[in-house]
Chain A
Amino acid sequence: MASAGAAGAPGAPAPPRVRRSVTGTRRTVAALFLLPALVLLGALVVYPIGYSVVRSFYDQSGDGFAGLDNYKALFTDDGIRTALKNNVLWVVFAPTVATALGLIFAVLTERIRWGTAFKLVVFMPMAISMLAAGIIFRLVYDQDPDKGVANAVWVGVHDTFAQSSAFPKAHPGRQSPLEAAQGGAFLTREPVRAGDPVSLPLVGVPPDQMPGSAEKAAPAPAEPGKVTGTTWQDFTRGKGVGTLGAPDPSELGYAGMRIEAVKDGKVVASTTAAGDGTFTLPEAADGAQLRLPASNFKEAYNGLDWLGPSLVTPAIIGSYIWMWAGFAMVLIAAGLASVPRELLEAARVDGANEWQVFRRVTVPLLAPVLAVVTVTLMINVLKVFDLVFIIAPGSSQDDANVLALELYRKGFSEDQPGIASAIAVFLLLLVIPVMWFNVRRLRREVRR
């Protein structure tokens, strides 16, 4: 399937045993036809392989024989070790996840009318450059949830389950009755008395971040046997307007502020402020200190640091899967289309359920396709460079390092051509089994 037009396409009439030259060509003509290709291949592909192998045994300057020193560096150099570790992550996860997704998509779209449109959408990223994909995902992974769509979604989900605090950065102003307490809470300096309204003014919440339910702050009425008070944003624009320490009509109440009454370190009563900032506590609060617990002032949740040291490699692998799952899907879909329907039907008649048919008939029949896809992606992943180079910010590029990137750095910015050549030879060794497999597969076809 994979090699469209390959001589061994199933069903094609067998080509003649020996394709003798129709033209009775002179060898010189054949040589002329081949010359340009062989010269370019020799100079640009074969020669560099030899050069790299030789160069990898020489030191930095290229004059002194270094034996295996450059290869030792593969296992001792910190940069290369990180790169190796990350390459293992890449090779294990990127091809398998992309192939699995491709299989799921190919199976599910088989009989959906707009399946082709879906495939087009998923396949499209293959046409664009890794540079463009890199810029796309730099935007997606932006740390600020107001800019990066990944964190916008993540924070949205997070906040649905965990209420974020309303007043980060709120703090007592001048001459405040409040003082900072342990863990970011604020506590009244004096115990409060029932029937004597309390003022709990704070400052520091930007007007556009006040909760929507906040109303004009109002002084709390005294109520016998109860502790009442107001908590509000004690800040009025302009000089000489309003009074410090008392709610003015232009100021807003801290709607939803949590207030606790604390006696001897124990919470004896608690409540939440109304829209105008007023609150009422039962008599038990008499003689207690009022505390605004730290949960009111927690910083808003800002999402994950996608491109930070710990997540940067998985994040970039994610962008790779976005680019290449479509490749797996298209190849698998082609394989799926060639699975004989009768075979599936026979299994069903024999009483197999859908899962069994899938597991025992479809997947084994697809195995060669799945293998080709996975191996192709593995080779591709070994060479991944652009995505890491573009997506990883300077601060975490060391953590996202991969062999191809390290080769570039060693060869072109650190002037270590010996070590870079050793990395190149190492990469080449990794693909040699595939090279051998390709040649063997084709040899059978060529020989007919």
Chain B
Amino acid sequence: MTNPVKAERSLGGRIVEKLGGGAVRVFLILVGLFWLVPTIGLLISSLRSPEDMSASGWWKVFAEPSQLTVDSYQKLLENGDITNSLFNTVLITVPATVLVVVIGSLAGYAFAWMEFPGRDWWFLAVVGLLVVPVQVALIPIAELFGKVGLFGSVLGVILFHVGFGLPFAVFLLRNFFAEIPRELLEAARLDGAGELRLFTRVVMPLGGPAIASLGIFQFLWVWNDMLVALVFTNADSQPITVALQTQVRQFGNNIDVLAPGAFISMVVPLAVFFAFQRQFVSGVMAGAVK
């Protein structure tokens, strides 16, 4: 009795079929709106003057589109503290990402293709560290950095992020590198390639997809971090998240700083997200244990 077209239908397809499709579509559209409205609210809030914001809700802009203005953004970008903190965010994020990729690749390759005693135990120990909460390290590292003079410096925050990014990096890359066909490595070896050459010319290029996922993941994680930077930076080295956080205490009087500031801090992660959705998703999937 089952006709071949119906047999292909999934559960979702059948629910859609049963409810005539309309109800499901309306439901999904409502949910989608529900998910979009908060962000749209922030965007529009950032494009209205503080006077308009204290007078009425952001949705009033649909009645009076003339309220839209980029004044808040202009003022914000003339604010030295904010531009400086944006610069710090880049200064922290880029090295923290590159270092995790490089150091993680070296270790991942060693765990995947080198022979040494206790190799698998070392690797499992690193995997065990995947779920250690960063909170555990805040106080000890604050004292350690205090002693060695890294407290308050950009370098300290970078190192912290590298340390806590490494378990995932090693886990992801070791598993990916282990899948590289043995013949490729042996052929390169026969051609006289040394260990370093093998790593840079064969392993790294072949590891591209995993390295991309890791890089994007780590980039977003560091860019979006507030807690670590809140503990380890000072007024000169703080990234945008911390700079904005100090403004939150006077919430309501400074929406012209907070809304555009938050939006500027979101632009880069969102761009990365939309440009590299696939890698982001596979990174998220691999990191489902973190």
- Residue pairs across A and B with CB atoms within 8 Å: the count is 363
Contact with B along A393-405 (1 / 0, CB 8 A): 1100000000010
Please name all residues of chain B whose beta carbon is closer than 8 Å to the beta carbon of A431 when the two chains form the complex: 131-133
Please name all residues of chain A whose beta carbon is closer than 8 Å to the beta carbon of B255 when the two chains form the complex: 139
* B210 smallest CB distance to A (angstroms): 6
A128 and B266 form a contact (CB under 8 A): yes
Q: Is B235 an interface residue (CB 8 A)?
A: no
A131 and B241 form a contact (CB under 8 A): yes
Please name all residues of chain A whose beta carbon is closer than 8 Å to the beta carbon of B39 when the two chains form the complex: 124-125, 136
Please name all residues of chain B whose beta carbon is closer than 8 Å to the beta carbon of A68 when the two chains form the complex: none
A109 and B12 form a contact (CB under 8 A): yes
A105 to B166 CA separation, bound complex (whole angstroms): 33
> Which of A325-350 touch B at CB < 8 Å?
327, 330-331, 334, 336, 341, 344-345, 348-349
B244 and A135 form a contact (CB under 8 A): yes
* A395 smallest CB distance to B (angstroms): 11
A42 to B28 CA separation, bound complex (whole angstroms): 48
Please name all residues of chain A whose beta carbon is closer than 8 Å to the beta carbon of B137 when the two chains form the complex: 44-45, 48-49, 52
A27 to B119 CA separation, bound complex (whole angstroms): 11
A203 to B143 CA separation, bound complex (whole angstroms): 65
* B19 smallest CB distance to A (angstroms): 10
- Which one, A36, A111, A140, A393, contacts B41 given CB within 8 A? A140
A357 to B182 CA separation, bound complex (whole angstroms): 44
Q: Is A30 an interface residue (CB 8 A)?
A: yes
Q: Give the bracket for the number of chain A residues in contact with chain B.
A: 35 or more
Please name all residues of chain A whose beta carbon is closer than 8 Å to the beta carbon of B115 when the two chains form the complex: 20-21, 25, 30
Please name all residues of chain B whose beta carbon is closer than 8 Å to the beta carbon of A46 when the two chains form the complex: 129
Please name all residues of chain A whose beta carbon is closer than 8 Å to the beta carbon of B124 when the two chains form the complex: 439, 442-443, 446
Q: Is A190 an interface residue (CB 8 A)?
A: no
Please name all residues of chain B whose beta carbon is closer than 8 Å to the beta carbon of A127 when the two chains form the complex: 220, 269-270, 272-273, 280
Q: B interface vs A, CB < 8 Å? A: 2, 7-16, 18, 24-25, 27-28, 31-32, 35-39, 41-42, 45, 53, 56-59, 103-104, 106-107, 109-116, 120, 122-124, 126-144, 159-160, 162-164, 166-167, 170, 172, 175-176, 178-179, 182, 185-186, 189, 195, 198-199, 209-210, 213, 220, 223-227, 230-231, 241, 244-245, 248-249, 251, 255, 258-259, 262-263, 265-266, 269-270, 272-273, 277, 280-282, 284-286, 288-290
- What would be 10 A-B contacts, judged by CB atoms less than 8 Å apart? A20-B115, A25-B114, A31-B116, A38-B122, A48-B139, A48-B141, A129-B226, A147-B57, A345-B7, A431-B132
Q: Which 7 A-B pairs have CB atoms at the shortest separation, nearest pair first?
A: A44-B163, A110-B12, A129-B224, A127-B273, A37-B107, A48-B137, A48-B140
